[in-house]
Structure 1
Amino acid sequence: MGISPIRRNTLAVSTPAHQRDLTNGPVAKTLFVFALPSLGVNILQSLNHSVNSVWIGQFLGEEALAASANAGLIMFLMFSTLFGFTMATTILIGQNMGRRDIESVRRIMGTAFGIFFVAGVVFAAAGWIFAPHMLRLMATSESVYPLALSYLRVIFLTMPATFVMILISSSLRGVGDSVTPFWNTVLNVVLDIILNPIFILGWGPIPAMGIAGSALATILAGVVSLGLLLRKVYALDLTIRLRGDELKWLRPDPRYLKPIARMGLPMGLSMIIMSGSAVVMIGLVNLEGVNTTAAFGVMNQLWSYVQMPAVAVGAAVSAMVAQNIGANKWDRVSHIVWSGIGINLLMSGVLIAMMTYFASPLLGLFLPNDSPAIPLAIHINHIVGWSFVLMGVSVVVTFAVRANGAVVAPLLILIFSAVLVRFSVGFGLYDRFGADAIWSSFIATSIASCILSIAYYLHGGWKKAKAMPSMAAVPLQAMPE
């Protein structure tokens, strides 16, 4: 006789101090507090990249800095693909956490952990072998190539640990804990910043390793922080941990693997499309000369901070919506989405206003005070800057509908807005309006994306989508191990 399905939902589990129940309490306050640590993670990661670039540039020179930039492009593409599968796992964990189906949460975690670790090993081996070919495809200059190859190959060795750490951090957010990933990121960033100059220049018995030392510092920081994160997961008996017989769930289960792949592929593809669209537009910017390219490059650095609230709030909305869908509390879903939009409008609006008001001193951090690129950058920001408010709305709404497994429509909206609309305006009007056609293409993209995303949220069929059917009603004896 089958075991009662009720048992699946009544597994004993303690509620850690940092884990929030996202299905109860005031929506706006819960969302804001839950999103803040994720915003902190984004800021810390950007600062870490900037500081490491300073170490490399100051100690090793322009060629080493160019080498790390070339390697960074390859890694960004790789993590863009990983992003989709990470988000899919978080959504599935969130929905089952909303149902209080702790066993399914752990089964999903086991399947994802097994796949992510194996994928990390495969990527590390393939990256080590094919790194020369990837750099050649990017037309890396001969003076930079040896440094880029050394850096990239060492960085590839971090893949197993990095993939697993990203998975654990994202899964913790799925169960309502955004604080633990934040403190783990603080540790990772501090270690990486401290170890970089030590391994680049050498210290005591540690030899000077140059740019390979920077990569090795990243490996050590990642391994140490991952080890301590795993220790915390088990020491505090966090919800996603696997013990005893549960360890057999590390063998991927097709019932959980299929929805991860079904949602992960379109979401990963969306990141690749966004990156590819930006690269194509940079080619058009380059036609305007070095000053325009420098101005646009610096503004991109500043705009990256403006976009951080949207990404953090969007991720929080996704986890919160997923849990409430799992708990069948659809009345809260709409409140969550509109609260997320409001919070993002406020945060992004303040950042854009501050960036516009303090444009000159901010640009002076990157460019000489008499640089002709500064007035160009100010002009670009006046045209494009406000559009990030609209883009933030699109991000929040897209994260929300994905939380129910609706991933194809957001991908089609992205293709239409970031490819068809952007290229039509940018290339189609370039001969007549020059650089202003390029900046206008970003505005057109934001407007199209915002309108279509809201229209799909209000009138589309995303509520009928299913990230994954509930496994709570399936008797355990009917489930193959």
Structure 2
Amino acid sequence: MTARAGQDLTSGPIVRTLLLFALPTLGSSILQSLNGSINAIWVGQFLGEAALAATANANLVMFLMFSAVFGFGMAATILVGQNMGARNVDGVRRVIGTTTGMFVIAASLVAIAGWYGAPALLHLLATPPEVFDFALAYLRVIFLGLPPGMIVVLLTMGLRGTGDSMTPLWFMALSAVIDVVMNPVLILGLGPAPRMGIEGAATATLIANYAGLIGLVGYIYWRDLPLRLRGRELAYLLPDPKLLRTIVLKGVPMGMQMLVVSISALAMIGLVNREGAATTAAYGAANQMWTYIQMPAMALGAAVSAMAAQNIGAGRWERVGQITRAGIGINILMTGSAVLLLLAIDRYVLSLFLGSDGHAMDIARHMNLIVSWGFILFGITSVLSAAVRANGAVMVPLLILAISFIPVRLGLAAHFQPLIGADAIWWSYNAGAIATLLMTWAYYRWGGWRTIHMMAPTDPVEAEEMVMSEAEPVGRAHPTGV
């Protein structure tokens, strides 16, 4: 059985299933990053540095917007996975209906507020005057593409909760290709297209978002996947208060984790800037490499979360521990290989960003040698966090992250920087990674996360109806064609 149209993750070989699930998720992450990089090249080449700086300012706003809703999408994914494990397809549809209804309302309101509030947002970010007009034109169009973009994120996360990681990859590829191709067409006005400049870059993203959403929804209905809503199920789009409360209570702490990471990153940049322009440039280039080093760990975390959630829903706790151990082993192999590869070729990769600047190159290679090994520890932590998160444990992981990132990482960097210089910043990354791993392992081993109940028990009448309808298309635990 493939993961293309959904998969039962509660049986079968764990290592093989985990790998087959994680690799398409990894591919989606790589495609997303390449899409952003290629679009940045188009804007920089055709419109210049001011336009490129404008997209950076606007993309920061969008990152914060998506960070705010990430937690809610993750909470919905966990509920979808647990319901799939319990063979409660109607529960899956209730969750996706409530979350979709919430996302449509919230994203539409944010898009309207963003259109009118974009100037104030850019002033708040202290956008330089020479960049402001570019950024305003770009950001307003990007806000219009926010609703379909958020719904696509929700549906892809929901599909992974059902055990399907291939469909998100195909539609991420579709959106990326449309975005990359349409960028130069609309920026330059090639063929019959109007010449739109910076607005063309944003419009390409808007078109790609809507095309991806229409294609994904059409595919879900064509394949009769568990997320589709028909007939009376369309009423699930009206948010259910009980479900909404669970999603919000679990989603806010997970969203706050993204906020902690963002605040820590901004503060770290402030410390790096004190070391001068060469160090800042080196740090920016190294970050490009670190983005790709982290991808295997993040993909494995998503796979472990989906698999663990389904097995928790099915009551198969013995497999949850096996999944976690398998995830840790695969992470050490994959992330360790990525670290070794990039350490071997870091000069060639860094030269793409730093050119012939020998001083910045030396700094970047030095920091990479210190920091990169810590991503193996980060990967182990991601797997452990994914396992506990799959049962709805969110407050302790948030507390662990806040302690590791702020008093440990930032505290050590700020304290020792006057004594040993920039090395204090680079070693603080590893100190934070060690602290996060130790606390997360302690919580995984001895914490009470196994006793948390995120999914409400199925009503006996609903359970009987679900069992009786298993042979009908509406009640199938596995969609048609699997």
Per-residue CA deviation, residues 240-272 of structure 1 (Å, 9 max, x unaligned), is: 100011111111111211111011000000001
Which residue in the other structure is 2:384 paired with?
397
Which residue in the other structure is 1:317 paired with?
304
Give the superposition deviation at 1:16.
8.5
Is the 2:4–2:166 contact (alpha carbons within 8 Å) kept by the matching residues of 1? no
Which residue in the other structure is 2:291 paired with?
304
Is the 2:84–2:313 contact (alpha carbons within 8 Å) kept by the matching residues of 1? yes
- Counterpart Cα distance in 2 of 1:68 and 1:474: 53
2:122 corresponds to 1:143? no
SS class of match (1:177): coil
2:265 corresponds to 1:278? yes
1:43 to 30, 34, 43: 30
Letter in 1 for 2:302: A
Which residue in the other structure is 2:116 paired with?
129
- Counterpart Cα distance in 2 of 1:100 and 1:16: 17
Which residue in the other structure is 1:6 paired with?
none
Q: Give the count of matched residue pairs.
A: 464
When residues 17 and 61 of structure 1 are mapped into structure 2, their CA distance, relative to the original with a 3 A threshold, is: closer
After TM superposition, the runs of 4+ consecutive aligned structure 1 residues lying more than 3 A away are 474-477
2:420 to 428, 433, 446: 433
SS class of match (2:354): coil
- Aligned residues: CA RMSD: 1.4
- Counterpart Cα distance in 1 of 2:331 and 2:210: 34
- Counterpart Cα distance in 2 of 1:337 and 1:352: 22
Which residue in the other structure is 1:209 paired with?
196
2:59 to 65, 72, 91: 72
- Write out aligned runs for 1:147-162 (5 A): 147-162=134-149
TM-score under structure 2 normalisation? 0.94
Give the superposition deviation at 1:471.
2.2
Gap runs ≥5 in structure 2: 465-482
2:274 corresponds to 1:290? no
Letter in 1 for 2:427: S
Q: Which stretch shows the higher mean deviation, 335-344 or 17-26?
A: 17-26
- Counterpart Cα distance in 1 of 2:136 and 2:207: 19
Is the 1:314–1:395 contact (alpha carbons within 8 Å) kept by the matching residues of 2? yes
When residues 201 and 357 of structure 1 are mapped into structure 2, their CA distance, relative to the original with a 3 A threshold, is: same
SS class of match (1:358): helix
TM-score under structure 1 normalisation? 0.95
Is the 2:3–2:21 contact (alpha carbons within 8 Å) kept by the matching residues of 1? no
SS class of match (1:404): coil
- Counterpart Cα distance in 2 of 1:17 and 1:227: 19
2:13 corresponds to 1:18? no
Per-residue CA deviation, residues 140-186 of structure 1 (Å, 9 max, x unaligned), is: 00000000010001000011111111111110110111111100001
2:336 corresponds to 1:349? yes
SS class of match (2:358): coil
- Counterpart Cα distance in 2 of 1:295 and 1:124: 36
2:205 corresponds to 1:218? yes
Is the 1:199–1:209 contact (alpha carbons within 8 Å) kept by the matching residues of 2? yes
Give the superposition deviation at 1:424.
1.7
2:444 corresponds to 1:457? yes
- Counterpart Cα distance in 2 of 1:17 and 1:430: 50
Per-residue CA deviation, residues 184-243 of structure 1 (Å, 9 max, x unaligned), is: 001000000000000000022222111110000001111112111111111111111000
SS class of match (2:460): coil
Per-residue CA deviation, residues 108-130 of structure 1 (Å, 9 max, x unaligned), is: 11101100111110110111111
SS class of match (2:392): coil
SS class of match (1:468): coil
Give the superposition deviation at 1:474.
5.7
- Counterpart Cα distance in 2 of 1:417 and 1:442: 10
Is the 1:277–1:419 contact (alpha carbons within 8 Å) kept by the matching residues of 2? yes
2:169 corresponds to 1:172? no
Is the 1:109–1:171 contact (alpha carbons within 8 Å) kept by the matching residues of 2? yes
2:399 to 412, 416, 423: 412
When residues 464 and 476 of structure 1 are mapped into structure 2, their CA distance, relative to the original with a 3 A threshold, is: closer
When residues 440 and 474 of structure 1 are mapped into structure 2, their CA distance, relative to the original with a 3 A threshold, is: farther
Which residue in the other structure is 1:12 paired with?
none
- Counterpart Cα distance in 1 of 2:176 and 2:429: 32
2:251 corresponds to 1:268? no
Gap runs ≥5 in structure 1: 1-14
Is the 2:187–2:195 contact (alpha carbons within 8 Å) kept by the matching residues of 1? yes
When residues 468 and 62 of structure 1 are mapped into structure 2, their CA distance, relative to the original with a 3 A threshold, is: same
- Write out aligned runs for 1:87-126 (5 A): 87-126=74-113
Q: Which stretch shows the higher mean deviation, 365-374 or 238-247?
A: 365-374
Is the 2:22–2:303 contact (alpha carbons within 8 Å) kept by the matching residues of 1? yes
Which residue in the other structure is 2:468 paired with?
none
Is the 1:318–1:400 contact (alpha carbons within 8 Å) kept by the matching residues of 2? yes
- Counterpart Cα distance in 1 of 2:295 and 2:461: 40
- Counterpart Cα distance in 1 of 2:210 and 2:416: 50
2:453 to 466, 471, 474: 466
Which residue in the other structure is 1:182 paired with?
169
Which residue in the other structure is 1:4 paired with?
none
Q: Which stretch shows the higher mean deviation, 348-357 or 464-473?
A: 464-473
Is the 2:296–2:335 contact (alpha carbons within 8 Å) kept by the matching residues of 1? yes
SS class of match (1:372): helix
Give the superposition deviation at 1:387.
0.5
Is the 1:55–1:196 contact (alpha carbons within 8 Å) kept by the matching residues of 2? yes
Per-residue CA deviation, residues 346-384 of structure 1 (Å, 9 max, x unaligned), is: 111001101111111111111123431001001001111
Letter in 2 for 1:303: W
2:233 to 243, 246, 249: 246
Q: Percent identity?
A: 51
Is the 1:16–1:238 contact (alpha carbons within 8 Å) kept by the matching residues of 2? no
- Counterpart Cα distance in 1 of 2:32 and 2:425: 29
Which residue in the other structure is 1:10 paired with?
none
Give the superposition deviation at 1:475.
5.0
Give the superposition deviation at 1:17.
5.2
Is the 1:16–1:236 contact (alpha carbons within 8 Å) kept by the matching residues of 2? no
- Write out aligned runs for 1:327-366 (5 A): 327-366=314-353
Give the superposition deviation at 1:62.
0.2
Letter in 1 for 2:207: L
